Amino acid sequence: METSRLKAWRFIVNNIGHFAMMLLLVFSLECFAQDNQLRPGQYITEGGWGNLSIKSGKGGTLVFVLEAVGGNAHTCDLRGQISNGHATLKAFEKGNPCVVSFSGAGEDINVTSNGDECRFFCGARASFEGLYFKPDQGCTAASLRKTRNEFKRLYDRKAYSEARTKLEPALRACKKTLNWLEEGWIRNDLAITQYKLRDLDGCRQTLQPLAADAAKTEKQLKEEYPPTDADNYMPIVEAARTNLKLCDTGTKGSP
């Protein structure tokens, strides 16, 4: 007759495959939960039109602020508390609330909503739904502001090599999440610095994404862009025209 210990051992041997599968399933579920959990931090959409900030609140809660910019400078502004991956925002006393859903996608966060109920928080040409990326180091709004301020101090001192070294990596590393208007100004700043360093080929290459619009008239641009976007974009285009002319002719300009 088998002893109790032998019976227990035989049971383990016969079912070891099931135990292994259970352990693997538990491990996989834990990894999935870790990969999909929301982490406090700053997140930015591709193209920089949306910014999401998540912070730790009281009692282990998460609070968020979400700001997005659409066509003609229409905006979205949402803020509140996240519970179980959702935030419920009430626009009116009556009617269905706006429900914003946040789901982790690795280091990034996908933001969705229940549709028309959330339109109250946005202008007519703006939307906030999409994938928000964890920005690369130095690419948050605060970091870019600091970099551009440091660049200006160096440029004003005519320390052009140091100014270029400060700004060039930001354009390269942050291009994915840069707002189109900020990218335009950074390209102009970098191009004029390259011109000062007599890197005319580099100057033209930096301005190449702006060259097509720089060749258009103001009337053409105002026909292609919404009014406020055109007003914000025109100074960038005018600067690009001037800088392209400098780099094409090689004419020495004033700092």
Question: What are the tens digits of pLDDT across the range 153-169?
Answer: 999 999 999 999 999 99
133, 168, 203 - which closes a domain: 133
Q: Tens digits of per-residue pLDDT, 92-142?
A: 767 789 999 999 999 999 999 998 999 999 999 999 999 999 999 999 999
Residue 168 near residue 190, CB atoms below 8 Å = yes
Tokens 């600067």, located at residue: 239
Question: Do residues 80 and 88 make contact, with C-beta atoms less than 8 angstroms apart?
Answer: yes
What is the reported pTM? 0.81
* b/e code 2-15 from CB counts within 10 Å (16+ = b): eeeeeeeeeeeeee
Domain boundary among 88, 106, 133: 133
Tokens of 122: 């946005």
Domain that holds residue 174: 141-249
Residue 242: CATH number of its domain: 1.25.40
User: Considering Cα of 18, then 23, then 29, then 31, what sign does the dihedral take?
Assistant: negative
- Residue 211's closest CA among 166, 182, 245, 160? 245
Give the whole-number percent of the chain exceeding pLDDT 70. Answer: 84
Cβ(66)–Cβ(98) below 8 Å: no
